[in-house]
Amino acid sequence: MINQIITSDIFLLALTIGIYLLGGAVFRKTRSILLHPVLITAVGVIAFLKLFDVDYGQYREATSLLDFALGMSVVALGYLLYEQSEQLRGRITAVLVTTVVGVVVGVFSVIGIAFMLGADSTVITSIAPKSVTVPIAIAISEPRGGVVAVTSVVVFCTGVLGSICGAKLLDISRVTDPMAVGFVLGAASHGIGTSRAVEIGALEGAMAGLAMALTGFVTALLLPLVL
């Protein structure tokens, strides 16, 4: 009976949401990088699935509603960008140039540092697309010999670190323009950074969503030519 309950779709969905809400409350209290709600949720869910021997395929199907909600959130970001479209007038060229330069610097800095530290081609391929969302990163690295697990973890860690430290680093660097703050968070930390930008403000969130999309597109075009 208990096994049927803990493996039911409703329970698994509620468990995931509950752990995230708990993680959010803990993070707001502590502001510790090790207690980020996304990190707590990932660790908590993995521990639960291992402890009760729940198949991941079953869990993924049970929480498919969250995937749907994620897609809706992307649409919401598009509407947010539409509301702030006046802010982009006359700045499209600057946005595009900034995206390309950011992707080039981000990609080659990671490849260069990994190469100097003695990483092999598999590791380099796995970590190069660190600043784009997991589906795009995997689509880039896996066909070229990258390890999916490594790519997923690196992308996840990049998002968490950017979400926690990005705004503070920008503040220390005296970068206060809302468009710049949002764009940096979205470009460097994809979806998790974008969620942080939305918390800061509407304009920051809109720019982060735009940066996330453009960075993913340019990275998907550039990296196959480099790796």
What dihedral do alpha carbons 108, 109, 115, 117 form, nearest 10°?
-170
| Chain centre to alpha carbon of residue 181 | 16
pLDDT attached to residue 37? 86
Residue whose tokens read 């660097």? 173
Residue 88 is classified by DSSP as G
Q: Which residues of the chain have pLDDT under 70?
A: 1-3, 33
Query: In 3D, which of 70, 216, 208 has the Cα closest to residue 136?
Result: 216
Q: Where are the domains of the chain?
A: 2-62, 78-226
pLDDT score recorded for residue 56:
82
- Token readout for 56 is 């991941």
* Type of residue at 126: S
pLDDT score recorded for residue 1:
62
Residues in the chain: 227
